[in-house]
Structure 1
Amino acid sequence: MLKVAVVGGGWAGCAAAVELARRGAGVTLFEAARTLGGRARRIEAAGRTLDNGQHIMLGAYAASLKLMRTVGIDFGRAMLSVPLQMCYPPGGMRFVAPRLPAPLHLAVALLRASGLAREDKLAMARFSTTARWMGWRLDNDCTVAELLERFDQTPRLINLMWRPLCLAALNTPIDTASAQVFLAVLRDSLGARRKASDMLLPRHDLSALFPDAAAQWLQQRGAAVRLGAKITELAPHDGIWRLDGEVFDKVVLAASPVASAALLAPLAEAAPIVAQLAAFTYEPITTCYLQYEPGVVLPGPFFALEDAPAAGHWGQFVFDRGQLDPAQAGLLAVVVSASGAAAALPQQALAQALAAQLAQAFGRPALAGPGWTRVVTEKRATYACTAGLARPANATPLAGLALAGDFTAGEYPATLEMAVRSGQAAARLLC
C-alpha cells in the first residue's frame, strides 16, 4: 500500500487525504493545531463556539459539495440556500435573483432591482452581456478597476455591487485585484445556471462543516489523523520521504504558503516554488461578533453594508447568525475584508464603531449597545489576489511531493472551493 503523508489539516489537506484514501493509499494527516480547518475553522471564545471568519459558498462549488456529501454531511441541515443577491439594509439597494432559469433570473433581478438608476442597470446589463460573450476571460490580465473602467461602469454600481463583491470574493481592493480571477467568480455566480448561482450559508461551524467529518471518515478507513503535530523537516532520501524521521512514500504539502515555503527552503530543487511564495503578499479579514438579546433579528440572514472608513464605518457585510443556527439567536457577525486599517484599531473601539454603523444603517439605535463583543482577525487570511500573480502548480520538481492549497494555480481566488480542488488535484498527481 502506498504510504502518503498529508501535511496540513485545512480544507485542502482534508480534501487530499480523502481523495488519497478513496484511491487506496495509506494516509497520515498531520495538523499543527488542535482543530482541523486551517484558515476556515471554529474557535472558542467566552464559552461560545464561533468561526475565525464568516464564509459564503456557491451552488457552483461542485467539488466541495460533492466531497461534503462523500464524508456524510447532510447538505440540507448544514447549509441555508438563498438566491443570488446583493441587498443593503432597508432603503438601500436591493438585487435578488428569482428562482427562474438562467439567464432569465438575472434579467428579472436587474429589472426589479431597487436603489439603482436606469444608467446603473444599463451598465450592469452591458457588462454581463459582454463578459458572457467573451467567455468570462481576458487575453491579458488587468486590475478589476481597469476592467470596470473599460466597461464604463457607473460609480454607484461600482460602489454598491462590483467593489464589495470583489472584496468579498478576492479579499483584495479593486485597484490591485485580478480581473481574470474576478471574472471567474462572476461566471459562476452572475453568469451561472440558476441553481449554481445560489448562495450557501453554513449553519454549522466551519470545522464541523467538513474537516471534522472528513477526519471521522478517514479514521473509519484506517487513516491516521494527528492533531497538534507540527512537521519541522521534509527530507527526500533514496526515493522516500522522511518527515521528522518518519518514513513515507509520498507527501502532499498542504500547509499555508508561509509554512510551506519554510519547509521547502532547505531543498534546492524547490527554489522556484519558494521564490513564488516569497513574492506573495497577504490581506487580513476581520470578523466582529456582536451579541444582543435573543429577540434581536435582522430582516434577512445577511446584508451588504456601505463602508466609509473616514466615518468609522468599516463593516462590509453583516450576518444574522441566529437565522442560521437558533442556538446563536441575537448574534450578529460583521465582516471587514482587506481589513488592515480596521484591524489596527483597538478591538473595543472597532467593535463600538461597527455596532454604531449597524445602528445607523438599520435605523435601530439599540444595535449600538451589544451586550458582548469579540473581534477576530485572521492576519494572513488570504494572499493578495493581484493582477498577473504567478501561483505555484500542484506538481513540483521534487519526485513524490505535490503542493496543495487555495494559493496554488487555478482560476478561483482563495476560497474553500479552490482549496478542495487543489487538494484533490495533488492527490491525483501522487496516485
Structure 2
Amino acid sequence: MAEPAVNSVAVIGGGWAGCSAAVELARAGCKVTLFEAARTLGGRARAVDVQGRQLDNGQHILLGAYKESLRLMRAVGIDLRAAMLHLPLQMRYPKGSGGMDFVAPRLPAPLHLAFALLRADGLAWADKMALARFSSTARWMDWRLHNDCSVSELLERYDQTERLIELMWRPLCLAALNTAPERASAQVFLAVLRDSLGAARASSDMLLPRLDLSALFPVAAAAFVEGRGGSVRLGAKVASLASLATQGGRWRLGDGEAFDAVVIATPPPAAATLLEQAGAPDLAASLGHFKYEPITTCYLQYPAATRLELPFYALRDNAASGHWGQFVFDRGQLDSTQAGMFSVVISASGAASEPGREALAQAVADQLADVLGRPQLARPDWVQVISEKRATFACTPGLARPANDTGLTRLVLAGDYTASDYPATIESAVRSGVAAARLLTARRK
C-alpha cells in the first residue's frame, strides 16, 4: 500500500532551523504548525527586550556564502540590502593597538586575497608568506583533510607564525566555531575558510545585521507560514510525541493533535526526550555526547555622538590583562536608534564570565578605553551583559553529528548540530531546516 501523503506537518522549535523548515514546507504546499516554547522566535539567535531596549542575545556576522539563509530571507520578503550592512572581508584592529589592518578589495578571487595580503599593515613579510602558503595549500587540498585534527595542530603543521595565529587564525576560529583552536576541529575550520578566504569575492563579504535577529528572518518566516494557511504557537512546549501506527504512521503531540509528519527542531537535550518517546532510543542516546560552549555579548551605552571610525574592530584578547573582548561593534552605524551603543563579543566565554557580570562589564569598558585611547569609554552610561551558556556545541575533531533522517517514518531532525561541514552557525541551522523539510516534501511528491 502506498505511503499516505504528507499534508500536515508539526515543526517543534521556532529557532532558525525550525523556521527554515516551516518556510520550506509551506512553500511546498504543506499545512504547517510551528510550536515554540518561548514567547520569542529565533532560538539562540533572537531579539530580547532589556529595560525597554531591543537587543540581540548575541552579535552575529553572516557571510555572502550563506546562500540558503539569504535565499530564505528573500523568500519571506526581507530586503537584504536594507537589512544588512555589506562589507568586504576584513580583519581590522584599532590603530595603535598592536594589531593589523587586513581588507580584501572588491576584486575577483583570488586576486582580492593577494591584494589584501600585499596591502596589509601590521604583518611582517614572513606572516604574509605564511598566510599565502596556507591558503594555496588548502586550495590544493580542496579544503579537506584525510584525518581531522585540532586547529592548533593544523596551523603548526603548516608553519603559521605566532603573530598570524594571534591576529588572524585564533580570532577567526573562536568567532566561527566558538571553540578554542587547541580543541577545535581543523576540518570544520577549513570549511569556514573555504567560504571566506577561499571564496569568490561576493561570497566572502561580511554581512552585519541592521535589523534585530528575530526581525531578520524568524518573524517574517512566521508571517509567511501563516499567510499560507499554517499557524504559529508561541509559549507552546511540546512535552510528548507518540507514533500512531494504526493511522498510517501519523504522529500525536502531547495535546492530542495528530500530524502526518513532524520536524524536531529543538536543542539536543529536548530532541533526545522526544526521540526516546518516539521509539528511537539509540538516536536519543547519541545526542547526549555533545559538550557546549557559551558566548557573551556586552552592550555598553555612551552618549549618542560616540562612534567608532569603522562599523567594527577586532580586539586582541588577553586574559592576563583582563582584556576579554574579541570584537567590538558600533551599533549606531547599523541602527540609528542605537547611536552611542557598542557591543563587545566574547566567544567561548567560560573563563571571562567567572568574575561575574558587573566585573566583566567594567573589564570590557576598561579594555575599550585602553585600546582605543579614549579614557571616557571606561565610564559607560549603561551596560548589559547577555550570556548564552549553551550557545553552540563544542566543535571538536571527529565529532559525530546525527543525520536529518531519524529512520522513523516521517520524523526528521533539524538543528545546527546535525550532520554538516559547518559549525553551529545561522547558516548550518538554516541548511538543516531546509534538508529536513525536503526529506518530507520528497515523500509528499
TM-score by length of 1: 0.99
Q: Is residue 265 of structure 1 aligned with residue 276 of structure 2? A: yes
Corresponding residue of 1:329: 339
Corresponding residue of 2:81: 76
Corresponding residue of 1:62: 67
Aligned residue type for 1:248: F
Q: 2:311 aligns with which of 298, 301, 322?
A: 301
Q: Is residue 144 of structure 1 aligned with residue 147 of structure 2? A: no
Deviations 1:233-264 (A, max 9, x none): 01112111011121011000001112111222
Aligned residue type for 1:109: A
Corresponding residue of 1:311: 321
Corresponding residue of 2:168: 161
Q: 2:7 aligns with which of 2, 5, 21?
A: 2
Aligned residue type for 2:128: K
How high is the sequence identity, in percent, across the aligned residues?
A: 69
Alignment of 1:96-245 (within 5 A): 96-238=103-245, 239-244=249-254, 245=256
Deviations 1:188-223 (A, max 9, x none): 000000000000000000000000011111111111
CA deviation after TM superposition for structure 1 residue 276, in Å: 2.3
Deviations 1:345-377 (A, max 9, x none): 221110000000001111111111100000000
Corresponding residue of 1:248: 259
CA deviation after TM superposition for structure 1 residue 344, in Å: 2.2
- Equivalent-residue separation in structure 1 for 2:221 and 2:322 (angstroms): 41
Q: Is residue 339 of structure 1 aligned with residue 365 of structure 2? A: no
Aligned residue type for 1:31: E
CA deviation after TM superposition for structure 1 residue 113, in Å: 0.4
Cα pair 2:240 2:277 within 8 Å, conserved: no
Q: Is residue 411 of structure 1 aligned with residue 418 of structure 2? A: no
- Equivalent-residue separation in structure 1 for 2:217 and 2:79 (angstroms): 10
Aligned residue type for 2:115: V
Q: 1:86 aligns with which of 74, 87, 91?
A: 91
Deviations 1:85-127 (A, max 9, x none): 0011113310000001110000000010011111111100000
Aligned residue type for 2:8: K
- Equivalent-residue separation in structure 2 for 1:63 and 1:279 (angstroms): 28
Cα pair 2:178 2:293 within 8 Å, conserved: yes
Structure 2 residues without counterparts, runs of 5 or longer: 1-5
Q: 1:30 aligns with which of 28, 35, 48?
A: 35
Aligned residue type for 2:408: L
Q: Is residue 375 of structure 1 aligned with residue 380 of structure 2? A: no
Aligned residue type for 1:249: D
3-state DSSP of counterpart to 2:324: coil
Deviations 1:32-63 (A, max 9, x none): 00000000000000110000000000001111
3-state DSSP of counterpart to 1:201: strand
- Equivalent-residue separation in structure 2 for 1:89 and 1:346 (angstroms): 27
- Equivalent-residue separation in structure 2 for 1:42 and 1:272 (angstroms): 35
Q: 1:385 aligns with which of 391, 395, 404?
A: 395
CA deviation after TM superposition for structure 1 residue 341, in Å: 1.1
Cα pair 2:76 2:220 within 8 Å, conserved: yes
3-state DSSP of counterpart to 1:200: strand
Corresponding residue of 2:285: 275
Runs of 4+ in 1 over 4 A off after TM superposition: none
Q: 1:285 aligns with which of 279, 295, 302?
A: 295
Q: Is residue 395 of structure 1 aligned with residue 422 of structure 2? A: no
3-state DSSP of counterpart to 1:322: helix
- Equivalent-residue separation in structure 1 for 2:406 and 2:224 (angstroms): 28
3-state DSSP of counterpart to 1:39: coil
3-state DSSP of counterpart to 1:120: helix
3-state DSSP of counterpart to 1:266: helix
CA deviation after TM superposition for structure 1 residue 272, in Å: 2.7
3-state DSSP of counterpart to 1:333: strand
Deviations 1:295-318 (A, max 9, x none): 100010011111011111110011
Q: Is residue 351 of structure 1 aligned with residue 352 of structure 2? A: no
- Equivalent-residue separation in structure 1 for 2:350 and 2:171 (angstroms): 16
- Equivalent-residue separation in structure 1 for 2:78 and 2:375 (angstroms): 40
CA deviation after TM superposition for structure 1 residue 267, in Å: 4.0
Q: 2:19 aligns with which of 14, 17, 39?
A: 14
